[in-house]
Amino acid sequence: MQFVITAYDGENMLEKRMEVRPRHLENMGKVNGKIICAGGLLDDEGKMKGSVLIMDFDSRETLDEYLSGEPYIIEHVWEKVVVEAMNVVIVNGEKVTG
Protein backbone atom coordinates (compact mmCIF):
# COMPACT_ATOMS: atom_id res chain seq x y z
CA MET A 1 0.00 0.00 0.00
CA GLN A 2 1.39 3.38 -0.94
CA PHE A 3 1.28 6.46 1.24
CA VAL A 4 2.09 10.11 0.71
CA ILE A 5 3.60 11.73 3.79
CA THR A 6 3.60 15.51 3.87
CA ALA A 7 5.60 16.87 6.80
CA TYR A 8 5.97 20.53 7.68
CA ASP A 9 8.86 21.87 9.73
CA GLY A 10 8.28 23.91 12.84
CA GLU A 11 9.10 27.59 12.79
CA ASN A 12 12.82 28.46 12.51
CA MET A 13 13.84 24.81 12.13
CA LEU A 14 16.12 25.09 9.09
CA GLU A 15 19.35 24.99 11.12
CA LYS A 16 18.15 22.04 13.21
CA ARG A 17 16.87 20.32 10.03
CA MET A 18 20.33 20.55 8.50
CA GLU A 19 21.91 19.25 11.71
CA VAL A 20 19.57 16.23 11.84
CA ARG A 21 19.53 15.62 8.06
CA PRO A 22 22.40 13.06 7.93
CA ARG A 23 20.53 10.85 10.44
CA HIS A 24 17.27 11.34 8.52
CA LEU A 25 18.94 10.22 5.26
CA GLU A 26 20.65 7.29 7.01
CA ASN A 27 17.29 6.21 8.43
CA MET A 28 15.69 6.42 4.98
CA GLY A 29 18.51 4.26 3.63
CA LYS A 30 17.30 1.45 5.88
CA VAL A 31 14.03 1.28 3.92
CA ASN A 32 15.34 2.24 0.48
CA GLY A 33 13.13 -0.35 -1.25
CA LYS A 34 10.07 1.28 0.33
CA ILE A 35 10.75 4.77 -1.04
CA ILE A 36 9.05 5.66 -4.31
CA CYS A 37 9.92 9.36 -4.16
CA ALA A 38 11.16 11.77 -1.49
CA GLY A 39 12.27 15.37 -1.29
CA GLY A 40 12.21 18.65 0.54
CA LEU A 41 9.40 21.20 0.35
CA LEU A 42 10.77 24.65 -0.46
CA ASP A 43 9.61 28.09 0.57
CA ASP A 44 9.55 31.11 -1.78
CA GLU A 45 13.26 31.68 -1.13
CA GLY A 46 14.18 28.09 -2.03
CA LYS A 47 14.88 27.06 1.58
CA MET A 48 13.58 23.76 2.92
CA LYS A 49 10.41 24.02 4.99
CA GLY A 50 9.28 20.40 5.09
CA SER A 51 9.28 17.09 3.27
CA VAL A 52 7.16 14.96 0.98
CA LEU A 53 7.66 11.21 0.82
CA ILE A 54 5.81 8.64 -1.24
CA MET A 55 6.42 5.24 0.32
CA ASP A 56 5.20 1.69 -0.05
CA PHE A 57 4.52 -0.28 3.15
CA ASP A 58 2.44 -3.37 3.82
CA SER A 59 0.12 -1.42 6.11
CA ARG A 60 -0.37 1.88 7.89
CA GLU A 61 0.89 0.19 11.05
CA THR A 62 4.23 -0.69 9.47
CA LEU A 63 4.54 2.87 8.13
CA ASP A 64 3.79 4.24 11.61
CA GLU A 65 6.46 1.92 13.03
CA TYR A 66 8.98 3.37 10.57
CA LEU A 67 7.91 6.94 11.36
CA SER A 68 8.31 6.32 15.11
CA GLY A 69 12.07 6.10 14.49
CA GLU A 70 12.26 9.03 12.05
CA PRO A 71 14.90 11.50 13.32
CA TYR A 72 12.93 14.54 12.10
CA ILE A 73 10.04 13.41 14.30
CA ILE A 74 12.19 12.41 17.29
CA GLU A 75 14.09 15.72 17.14
CA HIS A 76 10.86 17.75 16.62
CA VAL A 77 11.95 19.20 13.26
CA TRP A 78 8.62 18.20 11.72
CA GLU A 79 5.79 20.01 13.47
CA LYS A 80 2.89 18.64 11.40
CA VAL A 81 2.82 15.29 9.60
CA VAL A 82 -0.06 14.30 7.31
CA VAL A 83 -0.28 10.71 6.03
CA GLU A 84 -2.70 9.71 3.29
CA ALA A 85 -3.13 6.47 1.36
CA MET A 86 -2.23 6.81 -2.29
CA ASN A 87 -2.58 4.73 -5.44
CA VAL A 88 0.66 5.21 -7.38
CA VAL A 89 -0.07 4.80 -11.10
CA ILE A 90 2.88 6.40 -12.92
CA VAL A 91 6.55 6.59 -11.89
CA ASN A 92 9.08 8.36 -14.13
CA GLY A 93 6.56 8.39 -16.96
CA GLU A 94 5.94 4.64 -16.77
CA LYS A 95 2.61 3.14 -15.75
CA VAL A 96 3.20 0.86 -12.76
CA THR A 97 -0.36 -0.12 -11.72
CA GLY A 98 -3.84 -0.25 -13.19
CA distance 5 to 12: 21
Q: Where are the domains of the chain?
A: 2-95
Res 27 pLDDT > 90: yes
Task: Give the least confident one: 17-21, 41-45, 83-87, 88-92.
Answer: 88-92
- pLDDT of res. 98: 60
User: Are the CB atoms for 55 and 9 separated by under 8 Å?
Assistant: no
CA distance 1 to 60: 8
Q: What is the CATH number of domain 2-95?
A: 3.30.70.1060
pLDDT band of residue 84 (cuts 50, 70, 90) is very high
pTM: predicted TM-score of the whole model, two decimal places:
0.90
Strand segments, DSSP code E, in the chain are 2-9, 35-42, 48-56, 78-86, 90-91, 94-95
- pLDDT of res. 87: 93
